[in-house]
Amino acid sequence: MNSAYTSLFKPFTFRSGLEVDNRIMVAPMTHYSSNGDGTISEQELPYISARSEGPGVVITACANVTANGKAFPGQPGINDDAHIPGLKQLAEAIHEKGSKAVIQIHHGGVECPPELVPNGDVLSASDLPERGARALTDEEVKEVITGFGEATARAIEAGFDGVEIHGANGYLIQQFFSPHTNKRTDAWGGETATDRLAFPLAIVDAVKKVVAEKAPKNFLVGYRFSPEEPETPGLTMEDTFVLVDALAESQLDYLHVSLMEAHSKARRGADETRSRLSLLHERVGKLIPLVGVGSVHTPEEAVSVLEEGMDFVALGRGLLIEPNWVNLVKNGEEAHIQTVIKVSEKEKYVLPDPLWNVIMNAGGWVPFEE
């Protein structure tokens, strides 16, 4: 292995006691490939298996915790005990290749297409008539929180090593934290970022309670968040500092910073000449492990994320194109890493057909050539 990449292969022990032998995670990626009822399909297992040999942690695609939280066709579910057998197969496929298995748990909120939720009843933190969504009632808010706890119990029963709470990318948890989508005046809203923490922290508490009661002592709990929103009003780095301060006190195992470009700079609410990752490291990096992600394709780029103060780097599209990325770097064969899908060699990528079709039709989201 090239000595420039040794930082990627340092072992790490999480707060929970779980040990991994490197700093590389598979980022959670929507694959559109589960069965219509949310159970794991036959195509998912070889897809995840091909990407589980080498990384320290594999985070699987977001799974909806309630029936009204489904945001994608072909999304895996974790809202019913009937999902457990397939989820167990998914965890086993990852373990067989030597990686730790974490499942991301999720509710889409206003991002849920009406055709995917019961009665087309799309829900969010507040009424958003322009987007066809209504506000969750107090009782429904509590049902969703319970759903995250019950999903965690199913993840434990299925044999996963942890869960990642999906509080990023504009989904329901972020909708409650954001001033753009939360106009509530009850206990689940308010004018300040601290007021709007009620829902995210209630979910963290519900998940942790189940973990304390049912999980092995080394079970991971992570939390993914998006640092800023482009809208006004919308989340700023100043708001996000309030969030990460609270999460750092919650005894979580890691925070996962969701970015399209890892080294992107702050937009507002902090020093705009600095990257969001460096600002977050400065704020809470000594209190909780941080995971960086965003357009990382080469080992040099992966190392640069760690140099920003991250403890881990997560790879998404890079592993869609090159499933064997980690071992190629580890074995000094990084020159063989592909950065473009070759359509003529479709079978080598072990991609489910629905995901392949999305890639072919998404206008360069994942680069490909004939």
Q: Which residues contact 333 (CB under 8 A, 6 or more apart)?
A: none
* Spatial contact of 91 and 160, defined as CB atoms under 8 Å apart: yes
Measured CA to CA, the distance from residue 234 to residue 121 in angstroms comes to 25
* Spatial contact of 253 and 18, defined as CB atoms under 8 Å apart: yes
Residue 11 amino acid letter: P
Considering only CA atoms, which of 176, 304, 284, 202 is closest in space to residue 237? 284
Measured CA to CA, the distance from residue 47 to residue 32 in angstroms comes to 12
Considering only CA atoms, which of 156, 172, 164, 149 is closest in space to residue 255? 164
* Spatial contact of 342 and 43, defined as CB atoms under 8 Å apart: no
Catalytic residue among 171, 223, 254, 349: 171
- DSSP classification of residue 39: P
Measured CA to CA, the distance from residue 77 to residue 105 in angstroms comes to 9
Measured CA to CA, the distance from residue 161 to residue 99 in angstroms comes to 10
* Spatial contact of 237 and 266, defined as CB atoms under 8 Å apart: yes
Considering only CA atoms, which of 300, 275, 280 is closest in space to residue 290? 280
Give CA 218 to chain center in angstroms. Answer: 20
Quick one: tokens of 170? 């504009």
* 171 has catalytic annotation: yes
3-class DSSP state for residue 244? helix
Length of the chain: 370
**223 phi and psi angles, rounded to 5 deg:** -145, 125
Which runs of E-coded beta strand occur in 234-350?
A: 254-257, 290-293, 312-315, 341-342
* Spatial contact of 8 and 302, defined as CB atoms under 8 Å apart: yes
The catalytic residues are 171
